Amino acid sequence: NTSPFVLFGGMNVLEDAGLASDVCAHFVEVTSRLGIPFVFKASFDKANRSSIGSFRGPGLSKGLEWLADIKTRFDVPVITDVHEPHQAAPVADVADILQLPAFLARQTDLVTALAGTGKPINVKKPQFLAPEEMRHIITKCRDSGNDRVMLCERGSCFGYNNLIVDMLGMDLMKNMGPVVFDATHALQRPGGRTDSADGRRSQAVVLARAGMAVGIAGLFIEAHPDPEAAKCDGPSALPLAALEPYLVQMQAVDRMVKGFAPLEIV
């Protein structure tokens, strides 16, 4: 939480191989120019869409192929989320970091399957969980022999159909491990559209800046060349064209807060 931040960036879901590659190319270009460590993120399956007819992605095998291809061609580490225990091993063959989805973060078999791969794990904090309870998930990983755990804030339930980011809670999690801020999913308005979540894309910059000002290990974002046409979570996605100016701000805030002289208040 004190080194320059790592960017976990990419697309919500692997819409098609060409688009994923284009998105990664843009992320690589921008982060290289800015000198930001970069991990490419995309899901091979969206396992909990609001509607059964919603696009879910290419599935495990094709998705891993695409990710492996991107990884090789761009020479970037890759992160993706795992939804069932049996997926952990094949995903770990390709992905450098495994992500534990928020709604599933307490499913013991999934946690131990991920931990068993030995790969670092990015645990999304469930919207229904207090920050302090993340300790239990970390302990489950440790008890499975894996202590390479990152904690990812993506908002907490605030009444119905709303998420709120508790900056103090995110700060508390820094005592437990590296903290990553998922600054685009936190823009969601669950159930805000007829058959999917709405989002607050126009406030993407402000929310991410506030999170970076806390002083954290990583920033997680999803972008799309045309958010309105995105097949999942477009209302929360950063337009790809805004990526560079957006990251310029985040990098500046990150550098500044990590450069401050320590100030302990008791």
Q: Within 4-43, which residues bind its own copies (CB under 8 A)?
A: none
61 binds its own copies (CB under 8 A): no
DSSP-derived letter for residue 157 is: E
Q: Is residue 148 a contact partner of residue 122, using CB atoms and an 8 Å limit? A: no
Provide the 10 A C-beta neighbour count for residue 172.
Answer: 16
DSSP-derived letter for residue 142 is: H
181 binds its own copies (CB under 8 A): no
**How far apart, in whole angstroms, are the C-alpha atoms of residue 11 and residue 184?**
11
Q: Tokens 């939804």 identify what position?
A: 83
Based on the residue annotation, tell me whether 71 is a catalytic residue of this protein.
Answer: no
53 binds its own copies (CB under 8 A): yes
Provide the 10 A C-beta neighbour count for residue 189.
Answer: 15
Q: Tokens 């009444």 identify what position?
A: 159
CB of 207 to its own copies, least distance (A): 6
Based on the residue annotation, tell me whether 147 is a catalytic residue of this protein.
Answer: no
Q: Tokens 């460590």 identify what position?
A: 37
Based on the residue annotation, tell me whether 12 is a catalytic residue of this protein.
Answer: yes
CB of 70 to its own copies, least distance (A): 25
Question: Using CB under 8 A as the criterion, what x/- string covers residues 194-233 for binding its own copies?
Answer: -x----xxxxxxxx-xxxxxxx------------------
**How far apart, in whole angstroms, are the C-alpha atoms of residue 266 and residue 264?**
6
Q: Which is closer to its own copies, CB of 77 or CB of 169?
A: 169
Q: Which is closer to its own copies, CB of 68 or CB of 210?
A: 210
Question: Using CB under 8 A as the criterion, what x/- string covers residues 117-146 for binding its own copies?
Answer: ---------xxxxxxxx--x--xx--xx--
| Residues in 94-113 at the binding interface with its own copies, rule: CB under 8 A | 103-104, 106-109, 111-112
Q: Which is closer to its own copies, CB of 150 or CB of 183?
A: 183
Q: Which is closer to its own copies, CB of 32 or CB of 50?
A: 50
Which of 13, 152, 246, 251 is in the footprint of its own copies by CB under 8 A?
246
Q: Is residue 39 a contact partner of residue 79, using CB atoms and an 8 Å limit? A: yes
CB of 44 to its own copies, least distance (A): 13
What angle, 0 to 180 degrees and rounded to 10, lies between the N-to-C axes of helices 17-34 and 60-74?
40
Q: Tokens 């469930």 identify what position?
A: 126
The catalytic residue positions are 12, 46, 233
